[in-house]
């Protein structure tokens, strides 16, 4: 056990985490020349294109240092704020972390939030200054920032370049010398933490775990504590680049487990594996069910594809257990699904994967968050509102609570003004402002989650010229004055465009929605009124004018009554047409509501 080291890499997006992992694998000889490729641990096409880690990966390296053979388990973590629970479980499976900071960009918000997670779990932190070979790098300044943040010595910060391979040997030496070996009771009942799972179509769910106490053997009867289900360990092994089956995985080590489970929802990240015959008395702390933060409707473009979409979503869910969906129907779009996502990036990725992996073109409705509505009759009933149409009538409604978050934004001091005004416009309250250095400011806001769902991240990048980094954590529910704004087209309610908005913003957003729809809805043979309404009260209106044939063209001169007769006849026809006419809404119209400020 004293020759095992478990560590992860913490970094903001684009600070060189995957490249550093590639170099560590090269240096320890874990990959052959044939297997080498950029971003080796990012296996999904999407990850490689966008340069982000979506699914965390684990890999085992063997390294000889001062004549001793060491086993190094690298547990990679996703960098994006949407996947912070997965990051917390990966961190809980380690004893140490490499804190990678880009020498050109300095410390960003996500680095800090993941660093706090690591410190809460008592991890040994090894600071690494990456990309020192860049012409725009300022290593001395950034080293000072890291020293201020961690309270370490400047000599502890390892200068490195993952691209050229500078400093890799020093990093491995630091991992072995500074990160403590795992501690655990070898003879205690089995206790292992699940930090990730992957669906394999041939073998069922592969579960990745870290053994904290005891050991797990092939063929052993095991039990998952939180789901309370028993399985047989058909195969256990270590995670090299390819899986290497073993007879036993001992205390302190990391491995994979195959039990033939076919449903990914049975394997929960953060759950504890124990022996079925002699279960452990204490489960690993910190387990929680992943809660979706953002909800959106996903509908097939063609209603006949509904069943096909269902099977695609089920297959996706096998790969990504944090995707939640349930059937719903909409008057405008037919049958579809109400889906829960961890955040906007997660929503984008799911939509993209549906199109790429399953060839499904889908319509996504306006994302929203889930609210709690309380009725005013005794006893008070709490209703979970994931869709604006679930909101009770205003006469029966007592109050609505919405989720709030604590948002941390780190930006250059030049952009404090624009960032503050953006957050205040989004109903944020500033709670703290700290100057990390003379150039960099950390701002903390309390704001509603619903406000950051739309276009907040894009606009934050715009007002700060790309220099602001953003991270958030949930604060719980608070009462707000919210109203449901409906959109009426030709007098009929389009439920897919309804939104729950704060009273102060309802008029502005209602007006903007009508203007945007006026641009996007094609002209018909009759006038189309577009109205935004709160209950029965119309708050905004635009009209798409009718296309008209010039019926008076054949009247040359003569009495005006001849022209009027033809126009009246046309008017009657238009009126009749309007009563039976249907308005087709293009896909862009549903997405346009997201881009009201463009």
- pLDDT tens for residues 516-533? 888 888 787 777 888 888
Q: For residue 97, what are the β-bridge partners? A: 8, 125
Task: Report whether pLDDT(306) > 80.
Answer: yes
Nearest to 60 by CA among 6, 22, 16: 6
Does the annotation list 14 as a binding residue? yes
Quick one: pLDDT at residue 103? 79
H or E element at residue 17 = helix 17-27
How confident is residue 302, by pLDDT bands cut at 50, 70 and 90?
confident
Quick one: pLDDT at residue 321? 65
Domains of the chain, start order: 4-178 (3.40.50.300), 191-275 (2.40.30.10), 294-365 (3.30.70.870), 371-480 (3.30.70.240), 507-594 (no CATH)
Quick one: pLDDT at residue 114? 74
Does the annotation list 15 as a binding residue? yes
Task: Specify the range with the lowest mean pLDDT, choosing from 46-60, 340-354, 393-407, 571-585.
Answer: 46-60
Does the annotation list 133 as a binding residue? yes
Task: Report whether pLDDT(401) > 70.
Answer: yes
Task: Report whether pLDDT(598) > 60.
Answer: no
The whole-number average pLDDT for the span 175-183 is 82
Give the DSSP letter of residue 81: G
Rg for the chain, CA atoms, rounded: 29
Task: Report whether pLDDT(205) > 70.
Answer: yes
Task: Give tens-digit pLDDT for 13-68.
Answer: 666 777 777 777 777 776 655 555 555 554 555 555 555 555 556 778 888 877 78
| Better pLDDT: 581 or 230 | 230
* C-alpha distances out from residue 209 to 193, 215, 253, 272, 337, Å: 5, 12, 9, 9, 32
343, 81 contact by CB (below 8 A): yes
Residues 6+ apart with CB under 8 A from 12: 79, 102, 105, 108, 109, 110, 111, 469
Quick one: pLDDT at residue 166? 81
Task: Report whether pLDDT(486) > 80.
Answer: yes
| Better pLDDT: 281 or 373 | 373
Task: Give tens-digit pLDDT for 25-38.
Answer: 777 776 655 555 55
Does the annotation list 19 as a binding residue? yes
296, 342 contact by CB (below 8 A): no
Task: Specify the range with the lowest mean pLDDT, choosing from 3-7, 107-111, 410-414, 558-562.
Answer: 107-111
As a whole-number percent, the residues of the chain with pLDDT over 90 amount to: 0
The whole-number average pLDDT for the span 577-596 is 64
CA distance 593 to 512: 9
Query: Model's pTM, two decimal places?
Result: 0.68
Task: Report whether pLDDT(247) > 80.
Answer: yes
Task: Report whether pLDDT(187) > 70.
Answer: yes
Does the annotation list 581 as a binding residue? no
CA distance 464 to 416: 8
* C-alpha distances out from residue 491 to 350, 538, 583, Å: 34, 11, 11
Does the annotation list 559 as a binding residue? no
Task: Give tens-digit pLDDT for 311-368.
Answer: 888 877 766 667 788 888 776 677 888 888 877 777 888 888 888 888 888 888 777 7
Nearest to 349 by CA among 327, 369, 320, 309: 320
Task: Report whether pLDDT(170) > 80.
Answer: yes
Task: Report whether pLDDT(206) > 60.
Answer: yes
Q: For residue 70, what are the β-bridge partners? A: 63
Quick one: pLDDT at residue 134? 76
CA distance 226 to 273: 9
Please, what is the average pLDDT of the chain? 78
Quick one: pLDDT at residue 34? 53
């Amino acid at each position: 056990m004293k020759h095992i080291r478990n560590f992860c890499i913490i970094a903001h997006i684009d600070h060189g985490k995957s490249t550093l992992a590639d170099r560590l694998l090269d240096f320890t000889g874990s990959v052959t020349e044939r297997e080498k490729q950029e971003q080796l641990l990012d296996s999904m096409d999407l990850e490689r294109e966008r340069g982000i880690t979506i699914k965390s990966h684990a890999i085992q390296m063997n390294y000889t240092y001062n004549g001793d053979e060491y086993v190094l388990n690298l547990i990679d973590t996703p960098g994006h704020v949407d996947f912070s629970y997965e990051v917390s479980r990966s961190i809980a499976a380690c004893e140490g972390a490499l804190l990678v900071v880009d020498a050109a960009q300095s410390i960003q918000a996500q680095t800090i939030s993941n660093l706090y997670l690591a410190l809460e779990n008592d991890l040994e932190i090894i600071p690494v200054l990456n990309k020192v070979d860049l012409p725009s790098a300022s290593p001395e300044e950034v080293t000072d920032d890291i020293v201020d943040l961690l309270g370490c010595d400047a000599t502890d910060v390892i200068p490195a370049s993952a691209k050229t391979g500078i400093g890799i040997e020093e990093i491995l030496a630091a991992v072995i010398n500074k990160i403590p070996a795992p501690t655990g009771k070898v003879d205690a009942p089995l206790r292992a933490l699940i930090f990730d799972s992957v669906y394999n179509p041939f073998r069922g769910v592969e579960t990745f775990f870290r053994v904290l106490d005891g050991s797990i053997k092939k063929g052993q009867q095991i039990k998952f504590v939180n789901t309370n289900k028993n399985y047989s360990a058909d195969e256990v092994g270590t995670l090299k680049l390819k899986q290497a089956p073993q007879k036993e995985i001992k205390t302190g080590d990391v491995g994979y487990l195959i039990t033939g489970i076919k449903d990914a929802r049975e394997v929960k990240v953060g759950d504890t594996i124990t022996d079925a015959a002699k279960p452990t008395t204490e489960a690993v702390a910190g387990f929680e069910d992943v809660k979706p933060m953002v909800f959106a409707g996903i509908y097939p473009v063609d209603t006949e594809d509904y069943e096909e979409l269902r099977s695609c979503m089920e297959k996706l869910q096998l790969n990504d257990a944090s995707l939640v969906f349930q059937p719903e129907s909409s008057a405008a779009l037919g049958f579809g699904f109400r889906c829960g996502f961890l955040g906007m990036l997660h929503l984008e990725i799911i939509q993209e994967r549906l199109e790429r992996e399953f060839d499904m073109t889908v319509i996504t409705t306006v994302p929203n968050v889930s609210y709690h509505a309380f009725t005013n009759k005794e006893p008070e009933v709490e209703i979970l509102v994931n869709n604006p149409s679930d909101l009770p009538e205003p006469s029966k409604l007592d109050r609505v609570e919405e989720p709030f978050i604590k948002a941390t934004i780190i930006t250059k001091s030049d952009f404090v003004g624009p960032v503050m005004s953006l957050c205040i416009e989004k109903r944020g309250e500033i709670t703290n402002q700290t100057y990390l250095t003379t150039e960099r400011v950390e701002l903390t806001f309390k704001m509603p989650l619903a406000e950051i769902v739309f276009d907040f991240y894009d606009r934050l990048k715009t007002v700060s010229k790309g220099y602001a980094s953003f991270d958030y954590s949930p604060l719980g529910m608070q009462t707000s004055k919210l109203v449901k704004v409906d959109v009426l087209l030709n007098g009929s309610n389009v439920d897919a465009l309804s939104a729950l908005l704060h009273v102060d913003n309802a008029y502005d957003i209602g007006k903007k929605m009508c203007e945007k729809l006026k641009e996007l809805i094609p002209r018909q043979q009759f006038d189309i009124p577009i109205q935004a309404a709160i209950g029965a009260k119309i708050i905004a209106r635009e009209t798409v004018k009718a296309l008209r044939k010039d019926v008076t063209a054949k009247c040359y001169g003569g009495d005006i009554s001849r022209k009027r007769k033809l126009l009246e006849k046309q008017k009657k026809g238009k009126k009749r047409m309007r009563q039976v006419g249907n308005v087709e809404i293009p896909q862009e119209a549903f997405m346009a509501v997201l881009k009201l400020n463009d």
